[in-house]
Amino acid sequence: MLETGDTENNMIKWSWYHSVVVLAVLGLVFTHIQDNNVSYVKDFSCVVYNWENVICKWNITESIEIKTVKVYWQPIVPFSKWYYCPKLTNSTSCEWSINDHNIDIERKHNISVSINNNLHNFFLVRWNESVYPDPVNDLFALAKNMSCVLLEWQHSDNAHNKTFKVMYKPERALKTKILTLCSEKGVVRREICHLKPYTRYEIQVTCKPDRKGIWSNKVRTTIRTNKTVPECPPSTDIGGYSWIQPSKNSSADVTIFWKQIEKSKWNGDKIQYGVYLISTKGITLLQSSGKFYSTFNIDTSVQYQAFLYSYNEIGNSTLESVQIPSYKDIEFVEEVVAVKDIESQTKLYWTSTVTKDTSSYNLFWCEQAFWDICKDTPHTIEISSADGHSYSTLPGPFTNASTYLFGVSYTSMNNMTSGFKWSDCYIDVNKEFHLKLQVTLYPKENGVLVKWRLPKCNFEKVKQLISYYNIHFCERKECEDYTVLKVAGTTDYTFIETTEDNVCVRVFPNWKDTDSRSSAEECVQISSNKRVLVSALLSVGAVFCFLAIFGCCMIVRKVRRTIKTIKRPFIIETPHIYNNSNQNTDSLTQRYRNLPSSNGDFFLLLNRDSSLQSPAGDSSSYARGNSGVASSRGNSNLLPNVDSALPLLNT
């Protein structure tokens, strides 16, 4: 029994001993769990740099007074031991070498941070997920042709497989293309194709471990692809050519407009545009231009095919074709008017064609340039003609400080385009619109005739937009009180009866759909002096016309008489002529005719049977009675009395 009782007491003592041990172990475990659950260390992280060094960093809670900090690490393997941190910096980082400590980065590791020997935090680290490789070395790019680039680089680590990522895009572009290369070692060479010709590309290369890890810093380089011919020709709009009314019936000026290609499509350092026209008669016209248009003088009776292309220092692009019909076969859209209404919307009005069946209209407008036609390629919109409208709202914007040109081209049912003629008729009903006045004085009718016109816009379409005109006039010099007349908007003149000396006339158009008066005042004063002057001018003009007519009649009469006199021979009555022998001779009435000779000699023709004796000793004169011829040469004294008869020749 005793033995039995002793045994029971021993068992009880053993039980109490084990109970104490268990409680102590549980206390230690509880303390360990409590310490690990409380975060004394925050922002803990570890990075393996290029498979060589490990750096772990952390921060300690500010509420803890730091006395000592110890860091231990241990690989998760059976029977492993703890190692101290070889290089502890500022109690917030630890660094050690992988090669020196034979760390297997493929295994997990425990890291313990102990503060003041009683506060512990444990961290589980996966080294292979935190490898941060160095950037690539010796990145090189070479342009092989107009669309391909060869890249080459290498990495300082050749023992581990890595994934490389190549990012490339044109400079200043937003979208980046990515090329990913896996499981590469050593020197890497790759070719990138399908690039734009003669374009500078920005290329970046980065890498990371083959499976998991952190991408390295990017290495950047730039390369430009090679030059080639332009990517495309200049584009044209349907009916995008304008006409200028020919001064002659056989030729006209046509201007072809196009859209310049983007600089990214030049594929070279410079760009030019060429146009050549081929007519149905085989005539070829060629022009080159650096602008957005080209003008040709062509035959109005011939159709042309225009070919447009762009070219650079390498060569020509493909061709863009434009069909230009004969000028004489076109029925143009007339009376093109742009109106800016009170809601600041700009509407374009035009008169539709009558004989042509149209399928669509193309509306063109541009800001007018000082030297050129337009500052830039004309804007255009296409509308269908199925609705029958002859107006459309333009998208704009239209600034008040600029002037604009407008045109309308149509496409017929057989796909023929007409082109257009520019119109500078632009009306802003919210602004002053100056009219041109012509005031004519009619003194006899005791009134003035007032005519006006819309500058650049004297079209029926515009007149239909005017409700009426207010005509203001006054008959006093100060022009304070006006008499108001209202005439229809389609009228462009009126007669004002007045007998006063001073008349001032003002015309205001009132546009439809607005109450604002959009015209500036135009005033013309006519004084009584002007009335007298006009009457005097009319009288003087009548007298001048009468005198001019009378003078013309007298001149004509004188000229006719002179012509008749020149055609009739001169008849000269000569006096008696005596010879040198002082013999009496019968007085004869001699009839002479003045006949000019070719050498300037003077001849007298005498009647037959008359006698004439030359002076003695003058061998240069002779006379022949029977033939009735007498001649005088040089300083002959023949017929001394003829000199007295010479004045008769003038009569």
575 in a structural domain: yes
Residues pairing with 440 in the sheet: 449
Question: Is the predicted pLDDT of residue 647 greater than 60, yes or no?
Answer: no
Question: Is the predicted pLDDT of residue 21 greater than 90, yes or no?
Answer: no
**Segment 606-621, tens digit of pLDDT:** 444 444 444 444 443 3
Per DSSP, helices labelled H in 218-259 are none
With a pLDDT cut of 70, the percent of the chain lying above it is 73
Q: Are residues 470 and 409 in the same domain?
A: no
- Report the range out of 276-285, 474-483, 576-585 with the highest average pLDDT: 276-285
Tell which of 466, 495, 526 closes a domain. 526
Q: Are residues 98 and 154 in the same domain?
A: no
Write the CA distances from 143 to 195, 200, 596, integer angstroms. Answer: 10, 10, 100
Instruction: Give the strand pairing for 629-632 and 602-605.
Output: antiparallel
Q: For residue 457, what pLDDT is reported?
A: 81
Q: For residue 203, what pLDDT is reported?
A: 94
639 in a structural domain: yes
| Averaged pLDDT, 513-522 | 57
Question: Is the predicted pLDDT of residue 643 greater than 50, yes or no?
Answer: no
Q: For residue 318, what pLDDT is reported?
A: 94
Question: Is the predicted pLDDT of residue 584 greater than 50, yes or no?
Answer: no
Q: For residue 243, what pLDDT is reported?
A: 92
Q: pLDDT tier at 86 (50, 70, 90 boundaries)?
A: confident
Instruction: Give the strand pairing for 131-132 and 41-49.
Output: parallel
Tell which of 129, 145, 160 closes a domain. 129
Question: Is the predicted pLDDT of residue 19 greater than 60, yes or no?
Answer: no
Contact between 333 and 242 (Cβ < 8 Å): no
CATH code, 407: 2.60.40.10
The helix (run of H) or strand (run of E) holding residue 392 is strand 391-394
Q: For residue 641, what pLDDT is reported?
A: 44
Say how many C-beta atoms besides its own lie within 10 A of residue 411's C-beta.
19
21 in a structural domain: no
Q: pLDDT tier at 530 (50, 70, 90 boundaries)?
A: low
Q: Tell me the C-alpha distance between 206 and 193, whole Å.
A: 19
Q: Tell me the C-alpha distance between 566 and 241, whole Å.
A: 66
Q: For residue 378, what pLDDT is reported?
A: 93
CA atoms within 13 A on the CB side of 239: 30
Q: How many domains does the chain have?
A: 6
Contact between 456 and 424 (Cβ < 8 Å): yes
Give the structural domain span for 60: 34-129
Contact between 631 and 622 (Cβ < 8 Å): yes
Q: Tell me the C-alpha distance between 151 and 202, whole Å.
A: 12
Q: For residue 128, what pLDDT is reported?
A: 82
Question: Is the predicted pLDDT of residue 444 greater than 80, yes or no?
Answer: no
Q: pLDDT tier at 475 (50, 70, 90 boundaries)?
A: low
Tell which of 526, 561, 593 closes a domain. 526
| Averaged pLDDT, 295-306 | 90
**Segment 33-68, tens digit of pLDDT:** 444 456 778 888 889 998 888 899 888 887 777 778
275 in a structural domain: yes
Q: For residue 525, what pLDDT is reported?
A: 60
Q: Tell me the C-alpha distance between 204 and 206, whole Å.
A: 7
CA angle 514, 517, 521 (to 5 degrees): 160
Question: Is the predicted pLDDT of residue 364 greater than 90, yes or no?
Answer: yes
Question: Is the predicted pLDDT of residue 205 greater than 80, yes or no?
Answer: yes
- What tokens were used for 376? 């830039």
Q: For residue 596, what pLDDT is reported?
A: 43
Q: For residue 520, what pLDDT is reported?
A: 55
Question: Is the predicted pLDDT of residue 630 greater than 60, yes or no?
Answer: no
Q: pLDDT tier at 519 (50, 70, 90 boundaries)?
A: low
The helix (run of H) or strand (run of E) holding residue 622 is strand 622-624
Q: Tell me the C-alpha distance between 429 and 69, whole Å.
A: 86
Q: Tell me the C-alpha distance between 187 and 275, whole Å.
A: 52
137 in a structural domain: yes
Instruction: Give which of 203, 206, 199 is closest to 177, Cα–Cα.
Output: 203
552 in a structural domain: no
73 in a structural domain: yes
CB proximity list for 110: less than 8 A, separation 6 or greater: 73, 74, 75, 76, 122, 123, 124, 125
Question: Is the predicted pLDDT of residue 236 greater than 70, yes or no?
Answer: yes
291 in a structural domain: yes
Q: Are residues 289 and 360 in the same domain?
A: no
Higher pLDDT, 114 or 25: 114
Higher pLDDT, 581 or 142: 142
DSSP string, 462-524: HHTTEEEEEEEEESSSS--S-EEEEEETT--EEEEE---S--EEEEEEEETT--SB-------
Main-chain dihedrals φ then ψ at residue 518, nearest 5 degrees: -100, 0
Q: Tell me the C-alpha distance between 58 and 69, whole Å.
A: 12
Q: pLDDT tier at 474 (50, 70, 90 boundaries)?
A: confident
Which residue is listed with tokens 């257009």?
420
- Strands (E) in 38-136, as ranges, are 41-49, 53-60, 69-75, 83-84, 87-89, 93-97, 108-115, 119-126, 131-132
| 3-class DSSP assignment, residue 34 | helix
Question: Is the predicted pLDDT of residue 84 greater than 60, yes or no?
Answer: yes
Q: pLDDT tier at 407 (50, 70, 90 boundaries)?
A: very high
Q: For residue 460, what pLDDT is reported?
A: 77
Average of per-residue pLDDT values in the chain: 76
Q: Are residues 317 and 350 in the same domain?
A: no
Q: pLDDT tier at 402 (50, 70, 90 boundaries)?
A: confident
Q: Are residues 159 and 125 in the same domain?
A: no
Q: How many helices (H) and strands (E) does the chain have?
A: 4, 41
Instruction: Give which of 493, 481, 404, 402 is closest to 447, Cα–Cα.
Output: 493
Higher pLDDT, 11 or 391: 391
Q: Are residues 69 and 139 in the same domain?
A: no
Contact between 514 and 467 (Cβ < 8 Å): no
Q: In what order do the strands lie in the sheet with 41-49?
A: 87-89, 93-97, 53-60, 41-49, 131-132
| Averaged pLDDT, 391-396 | 84
| Averaged pLDDT, 98-124 | 81
Q: Are residues 111 and 149 in the same domain?
A: no
CB proximity list for 600: less than 8 A, separation 6 or greater: none
Q: For residue 193, what pLDDT is reported?
A: 93
Measured in residues, the chain has a length of: 651
